[in-house]
């Protein structure tokens, strides 16, 4: 493992030059696999989970493969020199782990046809560019089930970042699952226009609590909201990773992103020469989405329900996006018994009935 950190002291300075300077001579006989990360690996969320996946490659294929990563890469043109640099250092496979790297990945892939690229959560592919994603909303359905059963007010808060399909899917899955337990359940949504702003996340959580929410779930990356819930003696869920260390009493469970198996599988395919461009959207069945251990505050009957949802996703008998589904205005969007197709889920931009939102 070679660490190239642009974070320390020199943020924003010429990334490519620095990355080159910072990398020591590498063992030439190993195949190199590169990663670019949006945040710091210590964010205890999104990037942290991707880095765990990278470590899984080290653990399983460390004798044949060397991994390199660059953290804090902005989702703009500055990602291009970073990608070129990784390719020039000899990386044969490069994972670009955020939606905003989509066009940069495709562009650099065009310049290095011998290098394979894997772009996370995007939709643009090429002969040497694959895409992969995770069905986070399956985890949201489990959280919604728990919240719907445990909320005494029937009003739940959802703290999100932006109105993008991933968040809309999460909100809808959470609300629909909660309504299965409590048909009158209402989900109040606040989008704070940031993935990471602890003071604003905290203030938004206080606001939702003041408006009557007794459970707040987060779709932003910091554990701040859980700490507010802890101080108020209420409950919530971790996002991206088990956050129980930050709020031992408030933390009921969490959605964990598990990227390791996919990263190992794709690296093996590269070594075998069987790598081909593909589009992967895995979920609980494949082990990409996992639910962290339940806290002592989750009653046994609620655990049984939540486990039922998980089991249903694993054997294919459960899908939260099964009709009838109504939108916020009460229009029937999915007919009784129909299941929304993956293609429709990927571009969803409307909220289900019972979601109270500003847009």
Partner 1 sequence: MGIDFLIAAIITVVGLSTPILLAGLGELVVEKSGVLNLGVEGMMLVGAISGFAVTVYTFNPWFGVLGAAAGGALASLIFAVLVLQLNSNQVATGLALTIFGTGISSLMGLSFTGRIVMPFASVFPDALAKHEYLRLIFGHSPLVYFALIMVPLTTWFLKSTRAGLILRAVGENDLSAHSIGYSVIKVRYAAIAFGGAMAGIGGCYFSMVITPMWAEKMTAGRGWIALALVVFAGWRTGRLLTGAYFFGILMALELYAKASGFSFLPSQFWAAMPYAMTVVALSFISSRGTAGANAPACLGKPFLPST
Q: Which residues bind partner 1 (CB under 8 A)?
A: 7-12, 39-40, 42-44, 157, 188-194, 196-204, 206-211, 222-224, 227-228, 231, 245-246, 356-359
Torsion over CA: 52, 265, 292, 184 (sign): positive
Q: Which residue number, 30 or 52, has a Cβ lying nearer to partner 1? A: 52
From the CB of 161, what's the least distance to partner 1, in Å?
11
From the CB of 62, what's the least distance to partner 1, in Å?
23
Residue 130: strand, helix, or coil: strand
Report d(CA 119, CA 160) in Å as an integer. Answer: 23
Question: Backbone phi, then psi, for 255, in 5-degree steps?
Answer: -90, 125
DSSP 305-348: HHHHHHHHHHHT---TTBS-EEBTTS-EEE-TT-B--HHHHTT-
Sheet holding 116-120, edge to edge: 2-4, 65-70, 31-36, 91-96, 116-120, 129-134, 279-282
From the CB of 240, what's the least distance to partner 1, in Å?
13
Question: Backbone phi, then psi, for 358, in 5-degree steps?
Answer: -85, -15
Report d(CA 144, CA 244) in Å as an integer. Answer: 18
Q: Which residue number, 224 or 240, has a Cβ lying nearer to partner 1? A: 224
From the CB of 227, what's the least distance to partner 1, in Å?
5
Torsion over CA: 118, 241, 246, 225 (sign): positive
Q: Which residue number, 216 or 345, has a Cβ lying nearer to partner 1? A: 216
From the CB of 146, what's the least distance to partner 1, in Å?
21
Q: Which residues contact residue 4 at a Cβ distance below 8 angstroms, ignoring those fewer than 6 apart? A: 19, 22, 23, 68, 69, 70
Report d(CA 213, CA 355) in Å as an integer. Answer: 13
Q: Which residue number, 134 or 220, has a Cβ lying nearer to partner 1? A: 220
Q: Which residue number, 1 or 342, has a Cβ lying nearer to partner 1? A: 1
From the CB of 27, what's the least distance to partner 1, in Å?
26
Report the first-to-last Cα separation within the chain, whole angstroms.
45
From the CB of 346, what's the least distance to partner 1, in Å?
23
Contact indicator for 223, 16 with CB cutoff of 8 Å:
no
From the CB of 193, what's the least distance to partner 1, in Å?
4
Please identify which residue in the block is written with the tokens 């390791």: 260
């Amino acid at each position: 493992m070679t660490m190239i950190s642009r974070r320390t002291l020199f943020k924003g300075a010429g990334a490519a030059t620095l990355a080159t300077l910072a990398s020591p001579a590498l063992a030439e006989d190993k195949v190199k696999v590169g990663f670019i990360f949006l945040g710091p690996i210590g964010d205890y969320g999104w990037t942290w989970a991707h880095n765990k996946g990278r470590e899984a490659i080290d653990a399983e294929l460390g004798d044949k493969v060397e991994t390199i990563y660059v953290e804090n890469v902005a989702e703009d043109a500055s990602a291009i020199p970073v990608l070129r640099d990784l390719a020039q250092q000899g990386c044969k496979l490069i994972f670009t782990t955020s939606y905003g790297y989509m066009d940069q990945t495709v562009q650099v892939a065009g310049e290095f046809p011998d290098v394979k690229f894997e772009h996370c959560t995007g939709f643009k592919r090429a002969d040497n560019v694959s895409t992969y994603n995770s069905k986070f909303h399956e985890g949201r359905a489990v959280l919604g089930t728990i919240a719907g059963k445990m909320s005494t007010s029937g009003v739940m808060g959802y703290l999100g970042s932006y109105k993008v399909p991933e968040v809309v899917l999460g909100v809808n899955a959470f609300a629909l699952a909660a309504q299965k337990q409590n048909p009158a359940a209402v989900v109040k949504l606040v989008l704070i226009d940031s993935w990471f702003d602890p003071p604003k996340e905290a203030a938004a959580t206080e606001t939702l609590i003041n408006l009557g929410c007794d459970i707040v779930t987060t779709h932003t990356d910091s554990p701040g909201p859980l700490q507010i819930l802890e101080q108020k003696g209420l409950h919530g869920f971790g996002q991206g990773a088990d956050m129980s260390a930050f709020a031992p009493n408030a933390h009921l469970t969490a959605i964990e992103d598990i990227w390791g198996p996919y990263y190992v599988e794709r690296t093996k395919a590269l070594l075998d020469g069987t790598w081909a461009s593909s589009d992967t959207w895995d979920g609980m069945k494949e082990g990409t989405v996992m639910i962290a251990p339940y806290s002592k505050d989750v009653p046994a009957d609620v655990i049984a329900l939540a486990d039922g949802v998980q089991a249903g996703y694993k054997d294919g008998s459960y899908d939260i996006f099964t009709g009838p589904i109504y939108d916020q205005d009460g229009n029937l969007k999915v007919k009784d018994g129909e299941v929304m197709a993956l293609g429709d889920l990927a571009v969803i931009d409307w909220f289900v009935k019972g979601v109270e939102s500003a847009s």
